[in-house]
């Protein structure tokens, strides 16, 4: 995965699961203490300095709503959320709308699909 090598310097193994709001709400509540659905949640399962191992869960329900609100294809939003989860796995976090994580995410999206509408 180019993004892992580009942002983390190593490869890895990441599973991506597409699910509904109910599943993401359950994961969000159980692991983050937030009783609400979310669009993406990532779990870094790595141990030590080995290659990255992790899981990314994406809510197709949230992705569809967000794609519709943004006027973009569902596939673009799903890729955006996958990138977002991967960036969390390699250590990025976000605290506001202007932070570096969003910029890196959109840069990778442009590299992968070209012109990005949002």
CATH number for position 56:
3.40.390.30
| pLDDT tens per residue across span 72-85 | 999 999 999 999 99
Residue 32: helix, strand or coil by DSSP? Answer: helix
pLDDT of residue 92: 86
In a domain, residue 32? The reply is: yes
- Per-residue confidence at 1, pLDDT binned at 50, 70, 90? low
Q: Tokens 């390699």 — which residue?
A: 90
In a domain, residue 30? The reply is: yes
In a domain, residue 11? The reply is: yes
Binding positions are 84, 88, 94
pLDDT of residue 117: 61
- Sign of dihedral through CA atoms 118, 61, 78, 36? positive
Query: Residue 102 and residue 92: Cα distance in Å, rounded?
Result: 10
User: Which of residues 116 and 23 earns the better pLDDT score?
Assistant: 23
Q: Domain count of the chain?
A: 1
Angle, CA 29 vertex, CA 24 and CA 34 arms, to 5°: 105
Q: Which domain holds residue 9?
A: 2-113
Please name the helix (run of DSSP H) or strand (run of DSSP E) that holds residue 12, with its range, or none.
strand 12-19
| pLDDT tens per residue across span 11-20 | 778 899 999 9
| pLDDT tens per residue across span 30-86 | 999 999 999 999 999 988 767 888 999 999 999 999 999 999 999 999 999 999 999
In a domain, residue 118? The reply is: no
Residue 21: helix, strand or coil by DSSP? Answer: helix
Binding positions for Zn(2+) are 84, 88, 94
């Amino acid at each position: 995965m180019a993004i892992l090598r580009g942002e983390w310097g190593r490869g890895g193994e990441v599973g991506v699961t597409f699910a509904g709001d109910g599943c993401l709400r359950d994961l969000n509540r159980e692991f983050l203490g937030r009783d609400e659905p979310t669009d993406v949640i990532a779990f870094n399962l790595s141990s030590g300095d080995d290659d990255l191992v992790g899981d990314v869960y994406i809510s197709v329900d949230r992705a569809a709503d967000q794609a519709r609100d943004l006027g973009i294809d569902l596939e673009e939003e799903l890729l955006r959320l996958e990138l977002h989860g991967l960036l969390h796995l390699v250590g990025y976090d976000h605290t506001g709308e202007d932070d570096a994580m969003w910029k890196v995410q959109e840069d990778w999206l442009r590299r992968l699909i070209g012109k990005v509408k949002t």
